[in-house]
Structure 1
Amino acid sequence: MAVKDCGGHKGGGCECHRRRLYRKCCGALLALLLLALFVILIVYLVLRPHKPRFYLQDLAVLCLNVTPPTSAYLFTTMQATVAARNPNDRVGVYYDEADMYAQYKGVAITVPTRLPVAYQGHRDQSVWSPYLRSMDSVVLPPVLAVALAQDETAGYVLVDVKVDGFVRWKVGTWISGHYHLRVNCPALIRVNEGKGSYGATTGGGPDYFRFQQAAACAVDV
């Protein structure tokens, strides 16, 4: 059986074999490169999506009452209207186990209210308007009770509407794990047209507490 020596033959069978092998190797490397780029793109979209944007549209305060030093119990009922928008073109957002509540100087003044589970498609928006209540279970530290009463008397009270929960990202049919969502929406409340208890009106009413201006919220995911 004769063995072909390719060493000195140009255009021989071995040369063709090497070219075919070279093309196959290049094709395999190109396919691996494209696959790696695709995986990197998917990972980027999943792990680095744009976080949702939240806006506090309204805060209707129906009652806000604390009477230190007689009592540090806080009685309040308010309705917050918060809008959330998904700014992503190719990533959906699931909102899971999200609670909304109000804070004053870092202390919760309402109990958490669970928001409905929601899914936002690309560039979609959701609006929630839950009632936030103290439910007779909020006791402020004496110093904060005095500070809140003083702010209300002075005519302006600054509270923070908070959203705390978890989100998941959706790319195609793939859904990520849970990511912690923290939202802070500052809200300046004007009391009795800024006159507080020094004004002519001292008993509340539909316009006694008025939310000043809608604003964007700080979002951390």
Structure 2
Amino acid sequence: MSLEKECTHHKEKKKRIIWRLCAGLIIFNFILLLLILLIWAVLQPKKPRFILQDATVFNFNVSAPNILTSSIQVTIYSRNPNDKIGIYYDKLDVYATYNNQQITYYTAIPSVYQGHKDVNVWSPFILGNNVPIAPYNGVQLTSDQSNGALQLTIKIDGRVKWKVGTFTSGRYHLHAACWANIPLGNRGTGISVGTGIKYQLSQSCRVSL
């Protein structure tokens, strides 16, 4: 056998080995993906449920046409509806928006694991000290306060991981939006809590993953 034929034979053999390895890897990944999809279909994971239970307003003041100072404590109920899947919440950020503009700072809720059918209740303070807001929002907020109906959206942003047995998934973005209609002008509908007024809301939140 000539040297040229021997080299050609070795190259073809090497190509066959590489092709078989690639084919085997593709088949393995396909089977693994199919297995994960089958498990996912059987378990049918459901999104966590959030409810904005109440809001306690300690301070909410538009001191200039576009400067807002606020201090609100909210109570958020969170439930894992899955009976076979646990949920890892990475750090969650809670904040308030008005007319799609963020009007408070982020408040972090520490990471926590939520087991099957478990419930967590969080009561973070969301604050804003001399926060600049759009001039038209300043005018509208002043009008809302005069009319006694403050309409905010409490938002929750973070990351979650699913846990099934010993398997833990990658991170998924979680976003929840809770509509809060706070009757500031009617103190009779609230409960005095120190220097604040607590308003019961019991508002379901829209959750997306």
TM-score, normalized by the shorter chain, greater than 0.5: yes
Please list the CA deviations of residues 151-208 of structure 1 after superposition, one character each: whole Å capped at 9, or x if unmatched: 001110100110000100000000000111000011111123179xxxxxxxxx644x
Q: Which runs of 5+ in 1 are unaligned?
A: 1-34, 196-204
Aligned to 2:41: 44
> Does structure 1 residue 119 correspond to structure 2 residue 107?
no
Alpha-carbon shift at residue 118 of structure 1 (Å): 0.7
Give the partner amino acid of 2:165: G
Counterpart of 1:62?
58
Partner residue of 1:87?
A: 81
SS at match of 2:46: coil
Q: Describe the SS at the equivalent of 1:214.
A: strand
Matched, 1:214 2:208: no
Q: TM-score normalised to the size of structure 2?
A: 0.76
Give 1:97's match in structure 2, choosing from 91, 94, 97. Answer: 91
The amino acid of 1:94's aligned partner reads Y
CA distance in 2: counterparts of 1:80 and 1:149, whole angstroms: 22
* TM-score, normalization by structure 1: 0.72
Is the radius of gyration larger for structure 1 or structure 2?
1
Which sections of structure 2, spanning at least 5 residues, go unmatched? Answer: 1-31, 189-194
Decide which structure has greater strand share. 2
Counterpart for residue 153 of structure 2: 160
Give the superposition deviation at 1:40: 4.2
> Over the residues paired in the alignment, what is the CA RMSD in angstroms?
2.2
Contact 1:68 1:142 (8 Å CA) reproduced: no
| Partner AA of 2:202 in structure 1 | A
One-letter code of the match for 1:183?
Answer: A
CA contact under 8 A between 2:68 and 2:132: conserved in structure 1? yes
d(CA) in 2 for partners of 1:145, 1:45: 50
Rate the CA distance shift 1:94–1:73 in 2: closer, same or farther, 3 A. same
Alignment counterpart, residue 140 of structure 2, candidates 140, 147, 171:
147
> In the alignment, is the contact (CA less than 8 A) between 1:93 and 1:169 conserved in 2?
yes
Looking at structure 1, the residues matched to 77 and 83 of structure 2 have their Cα atoms a distance apart, in angstroms, of 18
Identity of aligned residues (%): 41
Report how many aligned residue pairs link the two structures. 172
Structure 1 segments (4+ residues) deviating >4 Å = 35-40
1:62 alignment partner AA: F
